Structure formats: C-alpha cells, structure tokens
Structure 1
Amino acid sequence: MQSPKRAKLTHDTNAAIDVKHIQDFPPEIFQHCLEFVGKGNFAFVAPVSKHFYWSYINLGIDCTVFDVDTVLEQGRNKRTTAEVVSNGSLRLATECFLKAPKEFKEEVCRRAAIQGRVDILDCAVSLGVDMKLIFDDPDIFVWICDKMPMLVQAVENGHLDVIKFLSKEGVNFENADFFDGVTEKGHARDLHWMMKEGIIERERKDMAADLARNGELDMLKEHFSDCITKATFKNCAEGGHIEVMNWLLESSECEWDRNVLLAAASGGSIPMLDLCIQNGCPYDGFVSILSVQEDKAKTLNVLKWLHEKNFSLRDDICSSLANFGNAEALEWASEMGYDSIWAFEDAVESGDIATLEFCLENDCLSSPSLYKKAHGESISRGKPLKENETLNVYKWLHKNSIPWDEDASWEAAKNCHFSTFKWALENGCPYNEWDIFDVAIWTLNMPILEYFIGNHQVFDLEVYIDAMEKMINNERDNRNRSDAEVIETLQLFRDYGFPWNTGAIDCAEGLGRENVVRWLKCVGCPT
C-alpha cells in the first residue's frame, strides 16, 4: 500500500497553519507540523488522527479549525475532536457551534462541563445551543467518563461555576445518581451548597445522611441535628466516622441491624465494624464479601480481624479477592482453608500477574476461555482492562501453556486491541477468517483490518462482498458510520486489490450516501 502524498503546509504569524487533507498524513508529517507550532504562537487544524491530537495537546497549544466540515466528517474521532474544542479557544468553539452538527456540539458541551469551561458553554448558549436538551437527559448523569458520571466529575474537579451556570440555563439536577456520585466522592458539602443556592431540592434528612457519610460533623451539628434517621446511621457506618457516630448516638437511638454492619463492611473501618458487633449487629458471610475493596491492605486487615473474632468468611471469598487482584489476601484466605479452585477466571479479569501466579501454583482450574476473560468487566474496576494490561495477560497465559482458542483472537479484535490481536496471531492463536473480518468491519478498526488483510489475503469473495454491504448498510450495529469512514474502508479494500462489488453503488444510492456514490464512481466502481 503506497503512502499518501505529503500535504502542503503554509503558515504565517497571523493565521492558522493551513493543513489540507489531514486524514491522509503519513506519520513523518506530524512532527513537521509540530516543529512549526513549536516556533511560534501558531494555531492549526483540529486533527483527525488521535496520534496527532495527543502529540500537540500535551504542549498546551491553542488550536483552531481551518475547515470544520472536513474535520467533522471523520465521525469515528468526534470525541477526540470535541476534546480539542473544549480545550481550545473561544474562536474555535464559535466556529464549531456555527458549523458543527448537533451531536458534535453536544459532545463539546459535555467535555467543556467536565473541564470547567463556562466560557465555552456560554458561547454555545449565545449561538442557540439549548443546555437543557443536552443535560436534562437522565442518561447524562450516568454517562461514564473515567468511571465517574460526567456532572459528578465536574463537581469532583471543583467546577461549581459550571453547575450554577447550567442551573440558570434550566438544567434539572434532581437526580439520585448525581447525589450518590457526589457524596461517594466526598463532596456532600457541595450538595449542601447547591441546596442553599436553590439548584437542588433535597430533603433535609437525605442531606443529613449524605453529610454523615462524608464525616461533616460541624455541618450536621449546625444545620441537621433534628434530622437524624436510620439512613444517617447507615451512611455514617459506611463512611467509618466514629466521631460522627458517637455524636449521633448522643442525639438519637441506632437500630443495630444487618444493614448497618454491611455498610460498615463496605467502608472497611475496623473500629466501626467493632462498634457494630459490640452493639449486637447480626453477622453473616456477606459481610466478608463487602469487605473486599480496592484498598488491598485494608481488605486483608478486615478479613484477618473477622477471622480473629471467629466470624466465618463466605465460601466464594477467594474468587472475590482474585477479582480485585489481591494476591496477598488470596494466599492468606487459601491458607485459612477457603477454596480457591474457581479463582483463575476472576484473576484474569483483574489483570494482576501476582494473582495469576498464585492461581497457577495452586492448581486453580484453567481453560482456553481465560483469554476471553481478559476482556471481561471486572467487578473491582467496573470496566475492562486496558490494552497493555490485556496484552500482558495474554503473554502470561501463553507463556504458561494455557491453550489458545478462536475466542482469544476474536475478543482482541472486537475490543480493538490491535497490539494484543497482532501478538496473538503471530504466536499461533487460531482464528476464524470470516469472524475476524466481520468484527473488524463492525468496529471499523483500521489497524486490525489493514493488518489482517495485508497478512491473510486468502478470502472467500462472497465473505468480502457480504462484509462490504453490511458496512455500507450499517447492518451489524447501526452505528451510523460517516461517509468518510465507509470511504476509508473501501479505499483500503481497493488498495489491496479486492474486486468491486457491482451492487455497491446501488446500495449506497439506496441509502442516500451521495458522497460514497460520488467516490465509487470516481474510482471506477462498475454499476
């Protein structure tokens, strides 16, 4: 496959660098652009390539869009480009809000909220963007970014000015997920501020429970001494705040039930657990499961304390510890007589090599499906492993003679883990040609697609044609792929000599993809 021709660069001190056809840049051009930027206060086109984007965003350089329409056509990188906009200048934001499609504007506003860019949000409002349409959707409150709901992250980052601005624009913050998320991050005080500002309407008893969870004793004493409920005690137990608990007990009576003990277990405070046990909270094995947390040392200390108090742990405690990658606690539990034979799959999901070593040395059950588990969503993480972590797990499993199966290659391709996929194939991992080709088209992961086509060219023609039609039709996952994404993939097929499907133009015309039709005709696709 030939490298694209170099794009022409022009620059002056008063204008943005004019970068044409940035999606066609070969890697050597990237550094060339950065050299220009590094010499002065130049701005340049918001890049399509993530490689290019991360190179310059780390320099803290202002950016603008020379041709918004061209950039936005690359739909698969809309989030990346939105990040550029929300980190950039108001000039860039203005041009974006004037030219960009609705979904891109919304993405820019979401990123701007996380980063505290009230100026960009205000710019959007002045140009007719309705904040309520973007932020009043209940799903927005659980839109995950780095394991944190988006508007919770705005609070976590200290951007209460964003919350106030959005409230003035009519955004409704009355959402339980938002309240829980803010409290979980230790910002109940900010919820109280929102309540005083009239941004949220919160029951005083609920606000008291949130403050107790975060240990805000002074605020409880000053404003909520008459609002102590069962939930206040439960939240205080979860937060592990003994001083707050003692004050609550002076003011009211606690029902020392199972829920209070479970809350204390999830908080991991031994003094709070001890207080609950002394006051008669009934114990069961689920307490031990809730005691398993990301803090590995705290987890082990709690489990040892429970054992010393002659409380039995639940039978599946080893699997739970393996899922959190807590090798030290797993070894201890095994020595105490708890069965670890089923822990291998959970250990793989954790990605922790020390835990994997324990499972291997202790003859935990293994199978080829362990490779698939490397792409699972761990209970402890709430999300799958990163690509480098997955690759490390694959290498460890293969080194220790865990047999391959076709799921290993397919899962790597499906999750767009190119380095893992490439390494697996180069080390003898079996694959189903159609399944890999299909999932590469489905995800439109160009590195995987190009690598697979370039190294495995013995394709059944019907498989290729079927895949191409699915891509144009969005049949697999209804992703609404942009014309540019479809064209880029078709160009790859053409570069590698695949024959045209005579129905491609009819298919594209039927879907109203005029740009795809025009491109197909220009490159000689038969009708």
Structure 2
Amino acid sequence: MAQQQEPERQKVRLGAEPSAHLHQAGAPASTCDPALIWLPEIVQRFVKSLPPNVVAGTLRLVDKATAAQFRGPQHTTIQLSQPVPHHAFAWRWAGPAATRSLTRTQREMLPLMTARNGVVANLGVLLAREDHATDPVKPSVSEAAASAGQLDVCRWLRREGCAWRGSAALEAAAKGGHEAVCEWLLDEGVPLGDAAGTAALGGHVSLMLRLLRVGRTSLPNLHRCNLMKGVAAGCNLAVLQDEHRTVFDGREVEELDDAEHELRDSVKDCLINAAITGFWSGTHTADWQAKVDWLEEQGYHRPWDACELTAASPDALPRLQWLLQRGYPVDNIGSLASSTAGAGNAAALRFLLDQEPINLLMGCYSTMHASEGGHVAVLEVLHAAGFIASVQAVKSAAGGGHLPAVAWLVERLGAAMALTDEVFAAAAGSGSMELLSWLRARGCPWDERAFAAAAEHGSEEQLEWLAEQGCPMGDDGEPYVRAAFTGSVALLECVRRLGCRWSPDGSTMTRAVHRSYMVDAYRSHEVWDGLRWLLDQGCPVDWAAAEAAAAARPAYFDGYRPMVEWLQVLREAEGLRWVAAAAREGPEGGEVVAGDISPWLDVLPWCLNQQ
C-alpha cells in the first residue's frame, strides 16, 4: 500500500503546490504544463532519495526522456535482493513463461529473495503461478523471511498454510537479531530449539537473554552446548565469562554434577574452535585471541583440528599465523592447504606452502577444491608450485559454471585432454548457458548425459538450445526421470515437446519411483506431481518393478508418502488396466489421448489419507 501511495505524494509535493501558487499569482493556465515541472535537473535531485528498483521499475517508465536520462546499468537492472515495485514484479513474473530462462537453483531462489525483501503482494504473484520451484508456501521461504526480520511476510505465509521446519525459522530470526519476529514465532508455538545460541552467534546479547528467560531451565544439553558455542563465537569476552559463570555457577570442575560434567565434556573440544573460527560462520569478534587465552586458563585444551577449521575462513592467514606461533597442532599441512584452496584464499595457501611442501595427493585435492570454487588465483599458486591440474579438475570447475576457471584449465591442459563429454555434462548441470556456448564453440564432445543433467538442473531455454544444437537425448527416458525428480511440469512438458523418448519396457517410471526416495518430506509432493504427470501422459509402467522400487526406499522415508499403496491401487483398478492396454495399441488403433488415466489418479488423496 505504501508503494502505491508514494507516487501520489510526489505528485502533490512536486506538482500541486507550485501550480496553486502560480494560479494565485494570476499566471496563465499554460504554466501548469507538467513538462515545466518534470525537469531533468529536478528529477535528478529527487531520484537520489528513491530506492534503485523504483528508478528502474517505475521512474524510467514516465517518458522516453526520463528513460534516456537514467540509462546506466545501475538504473536499468532490477535487484531482487531489494524491494521490487509490485507492478514491475507482476509484469516480469506473473506470466506462464516467466521462468523459462531460470535454472532450477534460480527458480528456487526467487521466492527466497522475494520473502527477504518483504513485499507481500509479490509473494502472492508467485503463489498464483502454481509452480513448485517458485512456490512461496514452504519452510525455506518462512526461514528466509524470518532471517530478514520480515514479520508481515511471516504472518502471510502462516495464513497461507506454510509449515514450520522445527525451530529453524526462529533460529534464523534470532541470528539476525529480529526480536519482534522471534516473539511472534514463539506465540505461534514454534519450539525454542537453538534460538538462544543462534542469537548469541549473531552477537545479539539482549535477545539471547530474553530467549533464555523463556526456557533456560528446560534446555537439553545439546542446546546448552550450542548456546555456549554461540557465545564463544559471536559475543565478547565479558559475555562469555558471564554465561560460563551462569551455566556452571562459578564452581570448579570437581564440584559439578553429572549433567554439568556431561555438558562440559561436550563443549571442551569445541569452545576454543568456536572462539577462533566464529562457529564456522565468520561471526567471530575482535577479541577472539583474548577469549582463546581465557578458555585455555579455564582448562579447555587446544583442539587438534583448530588450524584445519581456521584454514577455511576468509581471513585465515593472520589466524593461522597466530595459532602456529602458539604451538597449536597441525596433523597434515596438506589438509590445511586443501582447505585454504577451497576457500579461495591464495595468500594463506602461499604461506602454508612456504612452511612445508605438500605431497602430490594433497596437491591434487587442493587443485580439485580450488576448481570447484572457480578460484583461478589459487590455481595459479598451485600451478607455480608444480601441481598440474587434471581433467577431473576441469569437470569440477564446469560443474560450478565457472567459465574463467574452465578456460584457464583448458589453456594449461590443452583442449584435446581437457574437453570431454563428462565436462560438457557437468557444465549442463551448472545451468550456465555462457559456459555451454563456450564449450560448444571449441568442439567439446557431448552425449545424452548432458541433456539429462539439463533436465534436472537447467532451464527450458537451455534444453531447447541443446536440442537445436543436436545434443543426443538418449532412448531410456532419463531426462524424464531427472525432470520428474524436480516436480517441474514445465520442464517435463519441454522434454516431451522436444521429442525425447521414454523406455517402452516401463523402466523410465521405475527409475523415477526409485529416485523419489532421495527427497525430504517437505519436497515429496513435488516428486508426486512429476510421477503423476508421467502416468497422465501415458509413460509405460512395469507395475511389479515400480512397486518393488517404492518398497525398497529406506525405512526413514516410508512415513512421508504411501507410494506403494498408491501404485497398488492404480494397478488393481480395472479402468487403469484398460488404459494400460490402450497405451500399447490405442483405442481402435488410434493414439491414447493424454489425460485418459486422470480419473484413476484421483485415488491419490485417498491413499494419502490412509497414512
């Protein structure tokens, strides 16, 4: 509502008052022409106070002159990480083909970013799409909203039936220091969990104390342990000392009861690490060295893996130097080098290589980890140290969509060695069209694995491009298996439209059922929709094999969806058997019309109710 009113307020401020003044002075009516008010110098002045997305999505639409005035890239790009005017958001994302160019990861990120920027109406646009990937009513979206302190979004999601994933939303809000969201979630019955510990991890001491007043005495040792780690990582020394005194009542070790001994044993190996590394989240404080000194004085011993955990942090170099000077143990300096390489820390890697040579195996690991992250500077350090990258490193870089790293590796290894069909398949899985085009232009070989990878991780545009380029699709229906796993009907329809075949023996459906056990409870409905689409389109089914695949799922998945019962009901239905026969020969030799088995798929709600 506020965004809709803003243009009117600007109109009054910039237009009505000057016009009234001119009329009072007896000026002619022609002086009220808006063109005399909407002057470039005036617009340039007030645009400084407008959010960037308002300029890009609203202001530039006023007229051609304004669009030309603000034609720079900072004014022509909508940033989804910031609030987007509703009209602009709806124009871009409401249409059925709006997400054709988005990869699976991008589709999943869209509702998360929208929730974080707090425009509830924009979430309504995504909800109306009825697309699993962009569906805002799922736990990860509520956690994103909570982490950004968007209380109105959290309330809207709750009204729309969004489920909570334990205490994850509360912990996300606590880490961000959003007290109002925390209070609302607690009122909604969300369990406290590790919220106090995550508030401490974020350095929000007052919120931590408020949450502890809710349930300190009822915290199990696991949450008390995480609380202590959070305090050691995100709070200063004084707070750490106070909380340590509160938990252990200022007593010596021999005075603690069994539960307190258990807690101290639980934290003895991790408090110093938490103080050094910021609980592996980069939230460490400036006085981390003082905290380490004090913890050592309290009898906490130096952990064996402190250096290795530190090596993966962004500012690893000064921390590693300090730890090594104090004699902290290093089991394998090659392992430290691998961690720094994966983190992209070239300076820390140089320091470690100067301390001690690493063997060939750890050099290969380091190269692999650097390639996965696309860290060209690290690859150059390793290359200068004599470690030659492998084809597997090229595949790793391609899997991350890192074109600069792939280009660097191809230049060092040569195209004949570096460019393989596995590399192309990995690039297809990254969803990077730029990388795929680059590889194709250099003659990189491919096979059907590339199309299958794109069906799971890529976009409709990517699938269409691969088909146009002549990429093999295979004849076993693997692209359907991959697309069904995502639950994306749009991708399934795209694969079908491009002429991909499925196995006539029913193995496509069997593999799709088997793969379904890999999803968690919060995504299971997506896979069910993918399987339903396959059945609805006449995909052949080997019922015995499909039921066996469903029954073979690990026991801890069995409670999520009674897939075996669903398949059995479908198999036993007399009408379904007729449709299965018709799928082989068609009614009177004709083709089966898509959707013929839909009535039998209506037994799905009944199956779900039997759970």
- Give the TM-score taking structure 2 as reference length: 0.54
CA distance in 2, matches of 1:299, 1:440: 41
Amino acid at match of 2:427: A
Identify the residue that residue 192 of structure 2 maps to in structure 1.
174
Instruction: Judge conservation of contact 1:374–1:393 (CA < 8 Å) in 2.
Output: yes
Deviation at 1:84, TM superposition (A): 4.5
Is 1:442 the counterpart of 2:475 in the alignment? no
Q: Distance in 2 between matches of 1:219 and 1:264?
A: 12
Corresponding residue for 1:396?
Answer: 408
Correspondence list, 1:70-469, <5 A: 71=96, 77=107, 80=110, 83-84=113-114, 87=117, 104-107=135-138, 109-125=142-158, 128-130=159-161, 134-135=163-164, 137-138=165-166, 141=168, 151-170=170-189, 172-176=190-194, 178-196=195-213, 202=219, 210-215=230-235, 225-228=245-248, 262=273, 266=277, 269-270=288-289, 286-292=305-311, 293-302=313-322, 305-306=325-326, 309=327, 314-316=332-334, 317-339=336-358, 341=360, 342-343=362-363, 344-374=367-397, 385=400, 387=401, 390-401=402-413, 403-404=417-418, 405-432=420-447, 434-456=448-470, 459=472, 463=473, 466-467=476-477
Structure-2 change in CA distance of 1:277 and 1:445 (3 Å): same
Q: Deviations over 1:221-264 (max 9, x none)?
A: 7787443379999xxxxxxxxxxxxxxxxxxx999976665555
1:360-388 CA distances to partner (integer Å, 9 max, x unpaired)? 12211431101123267xxxxxxxx5x4x
Q: CA RMSD, aligned part only?
A: 5.1
Q: For the residues of structure 1 that align with 2:122 and 2:266, how far apart are their CA atoms?
A: 58
Equivalent pair of 1:116/1:159 in contact (CA under 8 Å): yes
Aligned with 2:536 (options 503, 509, 512): 512
1:411 Cα offset (Å): 0.9
More helix by share: 2
Conserved 8 A contact 2:307-2:320? no
Q: Structure 2: how far apart are the matches of 1:230 and 1:321?
A: 39
Cα deviations across residues 75-96 of structure 1 (Å, max 9, x unaligned)? Answer: 9647525754775755566687
In structure 1, C-alpha distance between the alignment counterparts of 2:244 and 2:295, rounded to whole Å: 23
**How big is the shift at 1:417?**
2.2
Counterpart AA for 1:426: A
For the Cα contact (< 8 Å) 2:147–2:176, is it kept in 1?
A: yes
- Structure-1 separation of matches of 2:351 and 2:93: 58
Please state how far the C-alpha of 1:70 moved relative to its aligned partner: 6.0
Secondary structure at the counterpart of residue 55 of structure 1:
coil
Q: Which moved more, 1:410-419 or 1:333-342?
A: 333-342
Q: Secondary structure of 2:377's match?
A: helix
One-letter code aligned to 1:61: P
- Find the aligned partners of 1:208 and 1:179 in 2 and give their Cα distance: 10
If you compute each CA radius of gyration, which structure gives the higher value, 1 or 2? 2
Please say if residues 337 and 349 of structure 2, whose CA atoms lie closer than 8 Å, have aligned partners that are also in contact. Answer: yes
Change (3 A) 1:276 1:54: same
Compared CA separation, residues 350 and 420, structure 1 to 2 (3 A): same
Q: Deviations over 1:277-298 (max 9, x none)?
A: 7888766863432331221332
Deviation at 1:357, TM superposition (A): 0.9
Contact 1:156–1:182 (8 Å) recurs in 2: yes
CA distance in 1, matches of 2:59, 2:591: 44
Contact 1:257 1:282 survives alignment (8 Å): yes
Give the superposition deviation at 1:400: 1.5
Distance 1:419 1:302 in 2: 43
Aligned residues of 2:186 and 2:192 also touching (Cα < 8 A)? no
SS at match of 1:294: coil
Q: Return closer, same or farther for 1:276/1:98 CA change in 2, 3 Å cut-off.
A: closer
Task: Give the whole-Å Cα distance in 1 for the aligned partners of 2:172 and 2:494.
Answer: 35
The alpha carbon displacement at 1:193 in A equals: 1.7
Cα deviation, residue 304, structure 1: 5.1
Single out whichever of 414-423 and 181-190 deviates more from structure 2: 181-190
Q: Is the 8 A contact 2:395 2:423 kept in 1?
A: yes
* Deviation at residue 323 of structure 1 after TM alignment: 2.4
Q: Taking structure 1 as reference, are residues 351 and 199 closer, same or farther at Cα in structure 2, changes over 3 Å only?
A: same
Do the aligned residues in 1 keep the contact of 2:176 with 2:202 (CA within 8 Å)? no
Structure 1 residues 72 and 154 mapped into 2: Cα distance closer, same or farther (>3 Å)? farther
Number of equivalent positions: 412
Structure 1 Cα separation of the partners of residues 59 and 86 of structure 2:
13
CA–CA distance in structure 1, aligned partners of residues 131 and 466 of structure 2: 34
Secondary structure in structure 2 of the residue aligned to 1:478: helix
Distance 1:428-1:118 versus aligned 2 partners, 3 A rule? same
C-alpha distance in structure 2 between counterparts of 1:180 and 1:256, whole Å = 13
Query: Contact between 2:374 and 2:397, CA under 8 Å: does it hold in 1?
Result: yes
Name whichever of 199-208 and 316-325 sits farther off: 199-208
Note the alpha carbon deviations across 1:50-104, whole angstroms, 9 max, x for none. Answer: xxx9737568423475999965996964752575477575556668779968993
Q: Aligned pair 1:480/2:513, yes or no?
A: no
Q: What's the counterpart of residue 62 of structure 1?
A: 86
Q: Is the 8 A contact 2:229 2:271 kept in 1?
A: no
Q: If the length of structure 1 is used for normalisation, what is the TM-score?
A: 0.61
* Alpha-carbon distance change, 438 to 199 in structure 1, aligned in 2, over 3 angstroms: same
Is the Cα contact below 8 Å between 2:342 and 2:372 reproduced in 1?
Answer: yes
Q: CA deviation at 1:412?
A: 1.0
Percent of aligned positions that are identical: 16
Displacement of 1:39 after TM fit? 2.4
Q: Distance in 1 between matches of 2:329 and 2:244?
A: 36
Cα gap change, 1:66 to 1:478, in 2 (>3 Å)? same
Q: Quick one: which amino acid aligns to residue 349 of structure 1?
A: E
Instruction: Provide the C-alpha distance between the structure 1 equivalents of 2:317 and 2:393, rounded to a whole number of angstroms.
Output: 27
Q: CA deviation at 1:413?
A: 0.7
SS of the aligned residue for 1:104 comes to coil
